[in-house]
Chains A and B, each alone.
Chain A
């Protein structure tokens, strides 16, 4: 299927052996190996967030007499953030479609939109953080706030890193075109970006919605 035109991994220049019946044909091509390795990395990142969630869950009530979830979180802002990130994921998918068809203009358009929506998300989040800090509800106030800022902030840091990566990818595509290795990296970026949206689903559900239930 895809193996025919892809560059083989590491000089697999060997004639195909007889099929063993176990379906194993030798080292797989880079177009499979690279995204798989990146997928494993994304899963390790999920474990990272699970430890942050576990910390959050353990410390959510440790408010030290300070502000609690209900007093701090604004669901309307969260809804806007959620929309921004979700639509950002969607247009990232559109960018993958146009990139596959080597359409430079539309790919860059969709990627710019992905980045802009990501910036909107970050902007709202930074606004939320700075407001909380100004009100005296910064991460140094209590263990609950420490864990909140770390969990949500870590997600924001991942989004920031993703935007840096996105900028680099856009420059690379512009400069080098839709070569195989560039496409592989773009695929990895889109996997990363979608994964961040999955983490956000967990965050807004657990931290902002369940956290502020009456």
Chain B
């Protein structure tokens, strides 16, 4: 009746998951009750859960990412603690079966449920605004994509309470991940969660490529798009290209596990090397999916806070597309040591070094953007400079690793671990924090507290270096990754420094929460009245903060690069806004519960598959199909926003902007 699900699945005998589960359940319950009693539930349902508004969906993605960041960091500090304690005779506090689940969960969560949603959240919020349009190409699909991602996150979190997680690392290599060596539910949780969220991600990819290629403001040709939109395009092209391969390889592993197929098994002719190959065909583009939008964020921040146009716009575009293309030609560098031989290793090694060149072009362009500008040292600029210092070193260690003979020495050592954390934290995370500070006022109408923002930066910057610089040294000394027990006591001081670093990062994360609460409490002191708190250059700063549901009363005409900047300078020079346009009623897509209901059935079906509850799995599939058909039958797709409302909001915006113009001319 319940497959292999029994009461034993609940970790009554394991204190850490048990206590965590209880705390999380109590906290979630408390928040749920508080929301209900305060009457926020209908608001949340209408404004966020069923919303087809790209801005709301973007915010939901980022909230999910920040919550999962806490769990990912908790895994990290547990690993650091174990490695500091388990030296010599001591076995630490985490037996191998638990330690292995923790490093697997840490990687899976950080890549799939922190970095990806955070990046996708930004693309959601920013791209339509920067393109000067009202929403993405497929708003309902956007909602569905978010909820499918959330279903995946839910399943990963359920694995802590019910059952166990995979012990096979964040990529689940066979034969370890095969049924013979991992008979429990852990790998199944991993596979099902990633498959469900993977569908959501592919749909996001289709949505954004279509939006960027087909839905832009009048006059915005390709070479007038902001660089963030170019990087979003490249990233989503990679999503469309790479995620189907992930779907296939995870499905093949599922077939091995569930139906006894022999894709990657040791017997029956299976070939586990095929898994490595295919998973990295996905895995390498994946990291570029993360880092390209991050580069886009840096481009926006550099230009805005230097008060200068981005240096070398066309070379940036070209470099972005070059990185997009080459990133699909380097994947073997993740398994130089698997035995393809010198010739193939050389091809991929050279390609891996070549990809550093367009990245270097970008670094120079950011430097030249800042050079000769009047740089304002707001918090996003701290992250930008921190990125340049951190990421360049990470990139250099990457070029080092791209040399096969070097890689043979340090493959899968802590040197590698330090490298990829350096590029992901220095490259992606720092950008996400910069973007969070930069676009927060646009989303919520007030800026975040700058002082705490700088503390957060220093915690991350110092914490990161303390946590990972020692790992380079340890890697050269022969320390491999994923060690539950440390054989060499001379490594202890280095690991202890790393532990302190991880703890300082934790302080940074805690301060992020503090900053948010404090900023909300004192928001009256930092209201974003004009909608343009940073003297921005791109179209999202044309709107008030937060923008109306439909973004722009009238889609802006774009006449050149930096559409908003030129328009603003003209207004300042002429001391007047452009002529009032002719307002029309606006059609916007309606809200829909389709996404959350489909995701519910997907999660149900996924849970049932994991626990072998076949009748429930079929029910889930039927439910998902039924809601899909129900959705397809609806007749109301859009609602009309009356012209009076459009006109009222627009005139309010114009009034505020005129006042701001007058203040500017008076202060001159």
Contact = CB atoms under 8 A, between A and B. Distances in A.
Contacts of B202: 41, 44
Interface string B255-280: 11001111101011111001000100
B206 A10 contact: no
A63 B265 CA distance: 13
A168 B632 contact: yes
Interface in B128-153: 133-135, 137-139
Interface in B228-286: 240-241, 243-245, 247-249, 251-252, 255-256, 259-263, 265, 267-271, 274, 278, 281
B210 A40 contact: yes
B637 A181 contact: yes
A59 B215 CA distance: 43
Contacts of A28: 214-215
B214 A140 contact: no
Interface string B636-662: 011001000000000000000000000
Given A11-B587, A33-B215, A48-B248, A43 B240 contact: yes
A36 B213 contact: yes
A64 B269 CA distance: 5
A11 B205 contact: no
A15 B207 contact: no
Nearest to A22: B221
A40 B240 contact: yes
Nearest to A40: B206
Interface string A36-70: 11001101110110011011001100111000000
Interface in A142-192: 142-147, 149-150, 164, 168, 172, 175-176, 181, 185
Nearest to A43: B240
Q: Which of B214, B216, B278 has the most CB of A within 10 A?
A: B214
B244 A51 contact: yes
A142 B268 contact: yes
B53 to A, nearest CB: 11
B557 interface: yes
A13 interface: yes
Contacts of B215: 9-10, 27-28, 33
Contacts of A211: none
A5 interface: no
Interface residues of B, number: 70
B555 interface: yes
Q: Which of B244, B278, B587, B588 has the most CB of A within 10 A?
A: B244
B590 to A, nearest CB: 12
Given A33-B214, A142-B269, A44 B632 contact: no
A17 B271 CA distance: 59
B633 interface: yes
A24 B218 contact: yes
A145 B262 CA distance: 8
B278 A51 contact: yes
B135 A10 contact: yes
A32 interface: yes
A190 B240 CA distance: 21
B214 A32 contact: yes
Contact of A44 (B138, B205, B256, B261): B205
Contacts of B274: 55, 58-59
Given A51-B278, A59-B270, 11 more contacts: A10-B133, A27-B133, A41-B206, A43-B240, A44-B240, A44-B243, A51-B248, A139-B259, A140-B259, A143-B268, A144-B269
7 contacts: A11-B584, A17-B219, A17-B557, A40-B240, A54-B278, A143-B265, A150-B252
